Amino acid sequence: MPTVGRSRADLAEPFASHGRFGNLAIESLDVFDGDDSIWAQFERDGDTGGFGARWAAFVRASVFPTLALGLNGGRNDPRAGAFLDKLETATAARLALKPEPTVIPLAIVVLAKEPFSRLIEERR
């Protein structure tokens, strides 16, 4: 999930010293902004409540479970369901007040796995 955008340099950094990390090498790396389909839907229908609800449902599924781990019992805490419900409701209401497009940084990284025997030979 694109909760934190990484630059091309950030993604390539673990491979910088030898052109690979372990036996993996980058074949291609593309960083780009993804489409905000929730904003596009809002532009079509102007429904601020729907905009907030769609984004809140997305972050409930993608990010909020990690926040629930902070409860004493983690995801199994008896309060987890109510916590997630309240968080989703509040997020939807807040986002509906001032809809804005979201920058969605994405990357496609294609890695090649080099045979272990080649790595042994290169280290000799």
Interval 54-74: pLDDT, tens: 999 999 998 999 999 999 998
Contacts for 51 with CB less than 8 Å, ≥ 6 apart: 38, 39, 41, 42, 95, 96, 99
pLDDT of residue 29: 94
Dihedral (CA of 16, 17, 23, 25) sign? positive
| 48 and 27 within one domain | no
Q: Could you tell me where the DSSP H helices lie in 31-79?
A: 37-45, 48-62, 64-68
Q: Which residues of the chain have pLDDT under 50?
A: none
DSSP 1: -
Residues 57 and 86 in one domain: yes
- φ, ψ of residue 60 in degrees (nearest 5): -65, -40
Q: Do both 80 and 45 map to the same domain?
A: yes
**Domain span at 76:** 37-102
**Does residue 108 share a domain with residue 92?**
no
- Predicted pLDDT at 13: 95
List CB contacts of 113: < 8 A, sequence separation 6 or more: 23, 24
The 3-state DSSP class for residue 53 equals helix
pTM: 0.73
